[in-house]
Structure 1
Amino acid sequence: MSRTVTVGLDGSPESLAAADWAAREALLLDAALRIVHAGEAPPHSYRPFAGEAVPPPGADRSTHMLREAEASLAYRHPGLPVIADRVAGQAAAGLVAAAEDAQLLVLGSRGLGRTAGFLLGSVALAVVARAQRPVVLVRAGAGSADEHMPGVFGTASRDTPYRDVVLGLDLADPHDAVIEFAFAAASRRAAGLRVVHGWNPPGLSAVFADIPDAQRENELAQHARQKLADTLSVWRDKYPGVEVTEEAVIGQAGPHLADAARNASLVVVGRKNRTASLGPHIGPVAHAVLHHASAPVVVVPHD
């Protein structure tokens, strides 16, 4: 696997935001940036990075878009190796194939529930569900300042510290690839790591379903907190510079993660590699976070 961050570009505002994010992440990783346009359809009418005129409909807009993006991102991020090329075939399959040679794939998204846009809906869902590398989804309008904490005068910028990285952790299946991605992302940002585990107290019985059992719930909460601390112990030792906040919260993890995303630079969730009868799934937590989180979301596949 090469040290490359790959981004899918189609000229839409969300894909332009994704390209900017991918360039910044490539610099943090000391990796090259690869910009790809997948599929046979021409790109959207786009707002060029450098403000150049968009070619008329009869011109090769895909090539023009890729060349303009390559030149602009290389200029704005000195020292970043940037390449751009087209990927043949259907969009989802082309992006999944492009991800195979990258450390991570970055896509633009306004939410998987929307239908407008090239890298949205079924395409984004198919890529996230099938890619064997981490996939990051970035919303339109996301900028570098959104990843940083406000400064003395209440304004965030690249000169202020990063916001926390948020990790959604399933203690029933805590996978090293997901945990390590989150710790490494926090480490290279010199940011804190906020780990969220959602759990539901089981009912005692149908007869006593309406009677709260505070003592039992307290014991279960303590057990969840201890298991969370034990799971993260080895990773704390491996990344001693990362300040970790642990949260074992009652309820489904998805809504808690979406809420935490409001003050996060990145949200990390896992996806188990499995194929159901109706095709690959991404799981309810990842699906909820991709729908509702405002921060960039990375979905890390694992066995």
Structure 2
Amino acid sequence: MLLSVVAGVDGRAESLAAAEWAAREAVCKGRPLLLVHAWSRSPYSLVSVAANTAQRSQAERVLHAAAERLAGACPGLLIQTAQVEGPAVTALSRLADGSELLALGRRTKRGMAGLPGGSVARGVISRVKRPVALVGTGEGQDAEVPRSRDVVLGIDFGSPCAEAIDFAFEEARLRRCGLRVVHAWCDPQPSKEEAGASGLIEADHREEERSDPLTAVLQLRRDKYPDVPVIESVRKGKASSGLLRVAASADLLVVGHRLGKQSHLGLHSSPTANAVMRHARCPVVVVPYS
């Protein structure tokens, strides 16, 4: 049985953008598309019966409109729809864990927690074991038109995410585009005794020293995906700044997220992952790893 690409749809512009992006992914991967609308049932009362009926009707309208729109853009794509009851985070997380990947809309207005998409996106990313895509308005348009810009992957030598590397290579293969792999690093602040000419000379060789391990990390996937052109980039500076700069014209940005790290606000990921999810100008896929 083929796993579906799932998109959460609530009628807002960003969720429709995510659905369009998910439709393109489903076409590329040869998977069915499942559009989902999650809503919570009100406690039983005469008033709540009418409220629940209204929610079901609204969900049906939203799903039908989205499915009709995508069917016209992607002829031949198998599109299914589903209403799920319960808290959105719980319902979407349950579906995501049985899917190929889950796409959610990314709001342009940021919440207090600093992540796009609000509490639902934070909650889902912190729970699921499958990739989650965050898509903003204008990033998932023209689902029927393949784009050819590169996939960008961020790598941290401290905790290289094999799942994210595999995902990025596969996405580049499906899109028949290049893969740009970015590793950024910063020198620790030297003490007064360490600062000097010898330290400056040594720093000149740091970039070259880090290029070799990056090449070694990628070699296995290069052998598996010989048709994917790979450009390696080792940059001194903040990782988020380097990734955002390279991904400014990219088709997709892929980052890893370590499972099990949560705070009272929900998702507790690295500052780099938080920054790129907030500011990237392209869809961002967060790939979990243990």
TM-score, normalisation: structure 1: 0.83
Corresponding position of 2:80 = 83
**Residue number among 118, 133, 136 corresponding to 1:136 in the alignment:** 133
Does 2:266 match 1:266?
A: no
Instruction: Give the aligned partner of residue 70 of structure 1.
Output: 67
Q: Which residue of 1 aligns with 2:279?
A: 292
- Residues 13-36 of structure 1: CA distance to partner in whole angstroms, max 9, x if unpaired? 000111111101100000000000
State the SS of the aligned residue for 1:60: helix
Alignment CA distance shift 1:207-1:183 (3 Å) = same
Cα separation, 1, equivalents of 2:281 and 2:153: 15
Percent identity (aligned): 40
| d(CA) in 1 for partners of 2:172, 2:109 | 26
Corresponding residue for 2:270?
Answer: 283
Contact 2:5/2:102, CA 8 A, preserved across alignment: yes
**Among residues 120, 124, 127, which one is paired with 2:121 in the alignment?**
124
Deviation at 1:100, TM superposition (A): 1.2
Q: Which runs of 5+ in 2 are unaligned?
A: 43-53
Shift of 1:280: 4.1
Q: Report the alpha carbon displacement of residue 74 of structure 1 after superposing the two structures with TM.
A: 2.4
1:268, distance to aligned residue in structure 2 (A): 0.2
Match of 1:11 in 2: 11
Structure 1 segment 134-283 matched on structure 2, within 5 A: 134-144=131-141, 158=145, 162-209=148-195, 213-276=199-262, 278=264, 279-283=266-270
Q: 1:229-273 deviations in whole A, cap 9, x for unaligned?
A: 111111111100011111111122112112222110000000011
Closer/same/farther in 2, CA of residues 41 and 213 from structure 1, 3 Å limit = farther
CA positional deviation for 1:40: 2.5
The 3 A distance-change label for structure 1 pair 233 and 185 is: same
The answer as to whether partners of 1:164 and 1:193 remain within 8 angstroms in 2 is yes
Per-residue CA deviations over 1:92-148 (Å, capped at 9, x if unaligned) read 111111101111000011247247xxx822221111222211000000122446x9x
| Post-superposition offset of 1:76 | 2.6
Kept in 1: contact 2:154–2:182 (CA 8 A): yes
Q: Name the amino acid aligned to 1:202.
A: P
d(CA) in 2 for partners of 1:204, 1:37: 53
CA RMSD of aligned residues (A): 2.5
Gaps of 5+ in 1: 43-56, 148-156
Contact 1:128 1:282 in 2 (8 A): no
Secondary structure of 2:205's match? Answer: helix
1:302 aligns with 2:289: yes
Match of 1:98 among 67, 90, 95: 95
Indicate the residue corresponding to 2:46 in structure 1: none
Task: Note if contact 2:240-2:275 (Cα within 8 Å) is conserved in structure 1.
Answer: yes
Cα deviation, residue 158, structure 1: 3.0
Residue pair 2:39, 2:55 contacting (<8 A) in 1 also: no
Q: Give the Cα separation in 2 of the matches to 1:41 and 1:108.
A: 23
Q: Structure 1's 134 and 214: CA in aligned 2 closer, same or farther, altered over 3 A?
A: same
Match of 1:32 in 2: 32
Alignment CA distance shift 1:239-1:144 (3 Å):
farther
Question: Relative CO higher for 1 or 2, CA cutoff 8 Å, sep ≥ 6?
Answer: 2
CA contact (8 A) 1:5 1:32 kept: yes
How many pairs are equivalent? 275
Pick closer, same or farther for the CA change 1:105–1:267 going to 2, 3 Å. same
Q: CA deviation at 1:276?
A: 4.3
User: What TM-score does the superposition give when structure 2 sets the normalisation length?
Assistant: 0.87
The answer on whether the counterparts of 1:7 and 1:22 sit within 8 Å (CA) in structure 2 is yes
SS in 2 for 1:282: coil
